[in-house]
Chains A and B, each alone.
Chain A
């Protein structure tokens, strides 16, 4: 450049480009950005910089916005309220974008082509290049003011959600709610494989407090209506909560480290540095002598999977089931473990919904599943029936039976009924290994004796004693070793052997997994 003669015309154009870029970098202006920061929130440019590899962001559509002109000369630009482009996370390309709340609250913007949100350029980028999509959501969607501007009312969801739906079967989609999300952006957050929100500074709902008050007369704050206590813990609308935006970005990077770039690839294998033959002695004593006492299932999971590789999805929702991504000898696996501390691990409607989503997620991205089973069955009682536990539970069983990814069942203690069946691989190898503490059946002995042996018990001189006697007889026959004799369970193992045993099979399945990549078809009607 230095050697070339000055070109005044080109200089003017370069200067205009520089001005336009500088205007884009200002976002909604110093005052608006200041207010945003005061609320403890980062700007969209800071967010993108926080989540992607340093210096890797290649923006697309930086010049979009509303130019201001005096006598035909550009004086400034109000940028479009959406920033997006191409970047890398752990050196792998991703499409990333998000609303700019500092420009008119990040509300929808109508240019020739949408930049982001459902059906925007950033989604086309993820679709065409088959790379993950990271949505950093901070917008309230449409506004009735658009009626005035257009002169007509827009038909809802004209175009775009079809692309968002398509992406769910193609590439990992991560959505972070980083402010107040309502309407379209809130809906967009749900159409994801994994979603996260930030405590205290983010809320998500179909409609905010003013609409709720007008519709139902309920006076609620944003936080009461759609903070993490509702959206994450009770509703499961959003999967995880982060304490800060910085932690949220770290979680996004971590989540994507378990994901392939798309469904035509397998997840990356990491060198784990954790010996495959590590046999943790504590596994031998983790299950208490008394079958009435719970134990720490998370601790058990950590002892089996690669060191520090456990990434829990929905840790505060549907807590009877623990779902986490992890690695075994460096290969990504999905772990589904029942938590005996929550209703003895009985599967309630929420836990079933959580398991259904997780099985689908792992099946979609060719991630083998490990079930660590301690489930007495579906949750019982009037509340459980009213919550449609049976339907949600059977939906979970149905999705599990449709999945084609390899599954490994390890029965730790109880494995009963339909919930127990939902933890097995009936389509595949159906490999079921068990610890010596395992017990199984259609229903627990103590629950079935009174009904099945009613006449016998009633005829006895001491009915209670007779019931206990029958229970003891049946329990002796229910030893897992007897089922192993009949090859009704493929192996009983020393609990310490769990890791090496599973690693052998997961390693061996890698070749088969390569032959089954691609989109997973979904047939039939879920119950």
Chain B
């Protein structure tokens, strides 16, 4: 089982966490939505995997490139 990181491509704030810990995602699925430039930008689980941990809660600010969730796959 490899440890995988889901990173945000954009600076903004966590708008909506659309998944739950323990949920298994397919490659390309959305982990959460970031609000940036008045848009809802998805954070994608590039390789899929099972969500182990979220690093941010809804409403918190995040910076481009930060890890928002840890997955195992």
Contact with A along B31-69 (1 / 0, CB 8 A): 000001111111000000000000000000000000000
What's the nearest-Cβ distance from chain B to residue A444, in Å?
Answer: 8
Contact B41 A341 (CB under 8 A): yes
Contact B9 A340 (CB under 8 A): no
Contact B41 A344 (CB under 8 A): yes
**How far, in angstroms, from A343 to B12 measured CA to CA in the complex?**
9
What's the nearest-Cβ distance from chain A to residue B42, in Å?
Answer: 7
**How far, in angstroms, from A446 to B10 measured CA to CA in the complex?**
21
**How far, in angstroms, from A381 to B64 measured CA to CA in the complex?**
13
Contact B42 A292 (CB under 8 A): no
What's the nearest-Cβ distance from chain A to residue B68, in Å?
Answer: 15
CB-defined contacts of A446 to chain B, threshold 8 Å = 38
- By beta carbon, the residue of chain A nearest B35 is A292
- By beta carbon, the residue of chain A nearest B15 is A292
Tally chain B residues at the interface, Cβ within 8 Å.
Answer: 10
Partner of B40, one of A292, A346, A381: A292
What's the nearest-Cβ distance from chain B to residue A478, in Å?
Answer: 16
Contact B37 A319 (CB under 8 A): no
**How far, in angstroms, from A319 to B10 measured CA to CA in the complex?**
11
Q: Which of A293, A340, A344, A346 has the most CB of B within 10 A?
A: A344
What's the nearest-Cβ distance from chain A to residue B38, in Å?
Answer: 7
Given A342-B9, A342-B10, A292:B38 Cβ within 8 A: yes
Contact with B along A276-312 (1 / 0, CB 8 A): 0000000000000010111000000000000000000
Contact B36 A294 (CB under 8 A): no
- By beta carbon, the residue of chain B nearest A319 is B9
**How far, in angstroms, from A353 to B41 measured CA to CA in the complex?**
23
Q: Give residues 339-363 of A contacting B (CB, 8 Å).
A: 340-344, 346
**How far, in angstroms, from A290 to B42 measured CA to CA in the complex?**
14
Contact A344 B42 (CB under 8 A): no
**How far, in angstroms, from A274 to B72 measured CA to CA in the complex?**
42
- By beta carbon, the residue of chain A nearest B37 is A344
CB-defined contacts of B38 to chain A, threshold 8 Å = 292, 344, 376, 444, 446
Contact A293 B39 (CB under 8 A): yes
Tally chain A residues at the interface, Cβ within 8 Å.
Answer: 18
What's the nearest-Cβ distance from chain A to residue B66, in Å?
Answer: 14
- By beta carbon, the residue of chain A nearest B9 is A342
**How far, in angstroms, from A381 to B11 measured CA to CA in the complex?**
10
Contact B36 A344 (CB under 8 A): yes
Contact B9 A294 (CB under 8 A): no
Contact B40 A293 (CB under 8 A): yes
- By beta carbon, the residue of chain B nearest A381 is B11
Q: Which of B11, B36, B41 has the most CB of A within 10 A?
A: B41
- By beta carbon, the residue of chain A nearest B10 is A343
CB-defined contacts of A343 to chain B, threshold 8 Å = 10, 36-37, 39, 41
CB-defined contacts of B39 to chain A, threshold 8 Å = 292-294, 340, 343-344
Contact A341 B37 (CB under 8 A): no
Contact A376 B41 (CB under 8 A): no
**How far, in angstroms, from A383 to B11 measured CA to CA in the complex?**
10
**How far, in angstroms, from A343 to B9 measured CA to CA in the complex?**
8
Contact A376 B37 (CB under 8 A): yes
CB-defined contacts of A319 to chain B, threshold 8 Å = 9
CB-defined contacts of B11 to chain A, threshold 8 Å = 381, 383
CB-defined contacts of B37 to chain A, threshold 8 Å = 343-344, 346, 376, 379-380
- By beta carbon, the residue of chain B nearest A341 is B41
CB-defined contacts of B9 to chain A, threshold 8 Å = 319, 341-342
- By beta carbon, the residue of chain A nearest B39 is A344
What's the nearest-Cβ distance from chain B to residue A419, in Å?
Answer: 12
Q: Which of A292, A340, A376, A444 has the most CB of B within 10 A?
A: A292
CB-defined contacts of B10 to chain A, threshold 8 Å = 342-343
What's the nearest-Cβ distance from chain B to residue A468, in Å?
Answer: 15
Contact with A along B15-43 (1 / 0, CB 8 A): 00000000000000000000011111110
**How far, in angstroms, from A274 to B41 measured CA to CA in the complex?**
33
Q: Give residues 407-457 of A contacting B (CB, 8 Å).
A: 444, 446
CB-defined contacts of A340 to chain B, threshold 8 Å = 39
**How far, in angstroms, from A120 to B39 measured CA to CA in the complex?**
51
**How far, in angstroms, from A292 to B15 measured CA to CA in the complex?**
12
What's the nearest-Cβ distance from chain B to residue A31, in Å?
Answer: 39
What's the nearest-Cβ distance from chain B to residue A256, in Å?
Answer: 31
What's the nearest-Cβ distance from chain A to residue B65, in Å?
Answer: 10
**How far, in angstroms, from A187 to B8 measured CA to CA in the complex?**
33
**How far, in angstroms, from A376 to B41 measured CA to CA in the complex?**
14
CB-defined contacts of B42 to chain A, threshold 8 Å = 294, 341
**How far, in angstroms, from A340 to B36 measured CA to CA in the complex?**
11
CB-defined contacts of A380 to chain B, threshold 8 Å = 37
CB-defined contacts of B36 to chain A, threshold 8 Å = 343-344
Q: Which B residues form the contact surface with A (CB < 8 A)?
A: 9-11, 36-42
Q: Which A residues form the contact surface with B (CB < 8 A)?
A: 290, 292-294, 319, 340-344, 346, 376, 379-381, 383, 444, 446
Could you list some 16 contacts between A and B, CB below 8 A?
A: A290-B40, A292-B38, A294-B40, A294-B42, A319-B9, A341-B9, A341-B41, A341-B42, A344-B36, A344-B38, A346-B37, A376-B38, A379-B37, A380-B37, A381-B11, A444-B38
7 nearest CB pairs, A to B: A344-B39, A344-B37, A343-B37, A292-B40, A346-B37, A343-B10, A292-B39
List 11 extra interface pairs beyond A294-B39, A379-B37, CB under 8 A. Answer: A293-B39, A294-B40, A294-B41, A340-B39, A342-B9, A342-B10, A343-B10, A343-B41, A344-B39, A346-B37, A376-B38
